[in-house]
Amino acid sequence: MVSRKQRRSKRQKKGGQRRVETAPQPIKQARGRFDTIYHDEYKKLLIIPFIILLLALAQISFQYATTGDFLNKGVSLTGGLTLTIPVDGQDVTVDQVEALLIQHYPDTEIVVRGLSEFGDLRGITVEVATDSEDEAELKALEQGLIRTAERAIPGATEEYSVEVIGPSLGETFFRQTLMAVLLAFVLMGLVVFFYFGENTKAKIAAVVLSATAYFLFTGGGGVLNTIFLVLIAIGLILLYAFYSPPSAAVILAAFSDIVVTLAIVNLLGVKISTAGVAAFLMLIGYSVDTDILLSTRVLKHRKGTIYESIISSFKTGMLMSVTSITAATIGFFVSQSTTIKQIMLIILIGLIIDIINTWLQNAGIIRMYAERREAAR
């Protein structure tokens, strides 16, 4: 005989099973569509980041062919004057000052920005690019600009400050910051190769080539140095690709982040300062984080299948990226400093591009490599 209590228990178990079986179908269908695209079509998805990279390279090439520079340089990189004029309590706008200066100097490249604090305009900066290093000419330009600005800002000639950067000094700043970015990229590639590479002789060769590249970087310019650097770069790329494809994939993702971000910044017309170049240096570190996370979980500490490891990395990596994007967005809109705004803008664009390059490009390459390695065993 089955007691009433036992029959009730059986009915509850059956009801519980029915509830599990009747889980909301739209959620399962949505997850199935994602699996179908990301799991089955991952090789086709690789086309997207490579097309974006090619378009970015085309934009940078066009920029260099038309302007002679692959980016829009600010005054701190080209040389010129920067005037800072306080406007506390005065009824003046940035547009008024800019229109007035452009009217009197139509053939001069002038950029006017506002300095605000808690929404109130506290000062105005006037940046003027010039290739002159003659002190008399620079002084005359300074006086002319400040007298013109005084028509909109009474008392400007008495309280302003000026910063003068000569063209040669600006070029030196640009060369040094660019060298820092390139050197950081080379060293980043070396560290990644040491972690994922397995051939000792290849690691020694990578160290020798990287050290040679460093000495060539610090040795100055010149056609011969440039040729050697190009050859070393090709040698390192081949070394990484042949002996450690995961290392090459990480380096390619970081390279894509920088190139695509630079192309977008060029299209936006942002004039890069030394702080902007430093932002690209920071972007290398941000972009490598998720790539290392993905490669490590799939190749070094895998739990489950290759695809399950990629999805696990995706959840953690997206949390990291969204957190950084949120912080950069807040910094961009809250900060009143043009320098901080430029840094936050570059990092924000780079982090968004990194999502595409990490989870479409790098994940696809890592998955193909891991599957081929398993099939060969």
- Whether 313 and 300 map to the same domain: the answer is yes
Whether 74 contacts 171, CB under 8 Å = no
Answer yes or no: is 261 within a domain.
yes
* pLDDT at residue 29, as a whole number: 46
User: How many angstroms separate the Cα of 72 from the Cα of each of 63, 115, 358?
Assistant: 9, 22, 27
- Whether 224 and 292 map to the same domain: the answer is yes
**Where among 113, 134, 165 does a domain terminate?**
165
**Where among 142, 165, 188 does a domain terminate?**
165
- Round to whole Å and give the CA distance between 97 and 111: 10
pLDDT along the chain (377 residues), means of 10: 53 47 42 72 91 96 90 82 81 83 82 75 82 79 85 80 76 77 83 86 90 77 77 88 89 92 93 86 86 89 87 92 94 83 93 94 92 83
Cα-based angle 244, 246, 252 (whole degrees, multiple of 5): 110
- Whether 203 and 339 map to the same domain: the answer is yes
Answer yes or no: is 345 within a domain.
yes
Phi first, then psi: what are they for 128, rounded to 5°? -130, 120
Measured from the Cβ of residue 343, the count of other Cβ atoms closer than 10 Å reads: 23
**Where among 165, 194, 226 does a domain terminate?**
165
* pLDDT at residue 160, as a whole number: 82
Domain residue limits at 55 = 45-72+169-376
- Whether 66 and 96 map to the same domain: the answer is no
* pLDDT at residue 278, as a whole number: 84
- Round to whole Å and give the CA distance between 70 and 73: 9
- Whether 296 and 159 map to the same domain: the answer is no
* pLDDT at residue 4, as a whole number: 54
- Whether 149 and 225 map to the same domain: the answer is no
* CA proximity to 185, closest of 251, 236, 278, 245: 251
* pLDDT at residue 149, as a whole number: 84
- Whether 216 and 365 map to the same domain: the answer is yes
Answer yes or no: is 30 within a domain.
no
- Whether 261 and 284 map to the same domain: the answer is yes
- Whether 65 and 201 map to the same domain: the answer is yes
Whether 316 contacts 332, CB under 8 Å = no
What single letter denotes the amino acid at residue 158? E
pTM (predicted TM-score): 0.81
* pLDDT at residue 17, as a whole number: 46
Answer yes or no: is 35 within a domain.
no
- Whether 146 and 188 map to the same domain: the answer is no
Instruction: Outline where the chain has alpha helix (H).
Output: 4-21, 25-35, 42-45, 47-67, 75-78, 94-104, 135-149, 156-159, 167-196, 200-218, 223-243, 245-268, 274-295, 306-334, 338-356, 363-376
Long-range contacts of 267-273 (CB under 8 A, 24+ apart): 267/59, 269/72, 270/72, 270/342, 270/345, 271/72, 271/73, 271/74, 271/75, 271/111, 272/71, 272/72, 272/73, 272/74, 272/77, 272/342, 273/74, 273/75, 273/76, 273/77, 273/339, 273/342
- Whether 360 and 252 map to the same domain: the answer is yes
Give me the CATH number covering residue 196: 1.20.1640
- Whether 98 and 60 map to the same domain: the answer is no
| Ramachandran category for residue 222: left, alpha or beta (phi over 0 → left; psi -120 to 50 → alpha) | left
| Ramachandran category for residue 108: left, alpha or beta (phi over 0 → left; psi -120 to 50 → alpha) | beta
Please give the radius of gyration of the chain, using alpha carbons only, rounded to the nearest integer: 28
Answer yes or no: is 18 within a domain.
no
* pLDDT at residue 271, as a whole number: 87
Number of domains making up the chain: 2
Contacts of 342 (CB under 8 A, 6+ apart): 270, 272, 273, 275, 276, 279
Answer yes or no: is 37 within a domain.
no
| Ramachandran category for residue 115: left, alpha or beta (phi over 0 → left; psi -120 to 50 → alpha) | beta
Answer yes or no: is 88 within a domain.
yes
* pLDDT at residue 21, as a whole number: 39
Answer yes or no: is 14 within a domain.
no
